Amino acid sequence: MPMRLSPLEPEDLDLLYTIENDPALWSVGTANVPYSRYALRDYISGQQCDIYADRQVRLVVRIADGAARDKEVAIGLVDLVDFHPEHRRAEIGFALLREYREKGYGRQAIRLLLDYAGTILHLHSVHAIVPHDNTASLALLRTEGFTDGVTLTDWLLRSDGWHDALLLQKVFK
């Protein structure tokens, strides 16, 4: 069973709770407070799963469960956010559970998301804003055809002060 992307289901609450409440990820996203299970349950149930209505789509990264045939395990999330239909562009985001990082799953998930964005949604471009010191994500995106745009000076505030971020873009041909 290969990797696949799927919409959030009620049974994905624990995955969403773990990722959204990881303080290490707060400095790269738009949230910097913990979310309750109640709030995340409402988020899951309130999605229309329509990028035009929600202006975003959040998909679960699923792989085969090595311990059981025909079962899957959810290992992370990929997002298309800040969707602009008139310009056919969106920002991408991705987060994997710690135990699945640096094993090639991120690359597979990004490839699936890019295929969906270009082939199904017919986006013209996607972009990512990445902390300047997140070398793993920068290398991954560059390998997948993203080019460096601009440096966003003092873009992210962390506990040790302000940090730059890089804007990367992929234009679909």
Mean pLDDT, the chain, whole residue set: 92
Closest CA to 130 of 163, 82, 170: 163
- In the chain, the percentage of residues whose pLDDT exceeds 70 is 94
Report residue 68's pLDDT band, with 50, 70 and 90 as the boundaries: low
Cβ 162 vs Cβ 59: under 8 Å: no
The pLDDT, as a whole number, for residue 65 is 81
If pLDDT is split at 50, 70 and 90, which confidence band does 159 have?
confident
CA R_g for the chain: 16
Q: How confident is the model over 135-156, as pLDDT tens digits?
A: 999 999 999 999 999 999 999 8
Query: What is the rounded (10 degree) CA torsion for 157, 105, 34, 151?
Result: 20
Q: Where are the beta strands (DSSP E) in 29-160?
A: 57-64, 72-84, 89-96, 125-131, 147-158
Tokens representing 4? 């696949």
Of 162, 140, 143, the residue nearest 151 (C-alpha): 162
pLDDT band at 57 (very low <50, low <70, confident <90, very high): very high
Confidence of residue 29 (pLDDT cuts 50, 70, 90): low
Residue range 72-113, pLDDT digits in tens: 999 999 999 999 999 999 999 999 999 999 999 999 999 999
CB 153 within 8 A of CB 164: yes
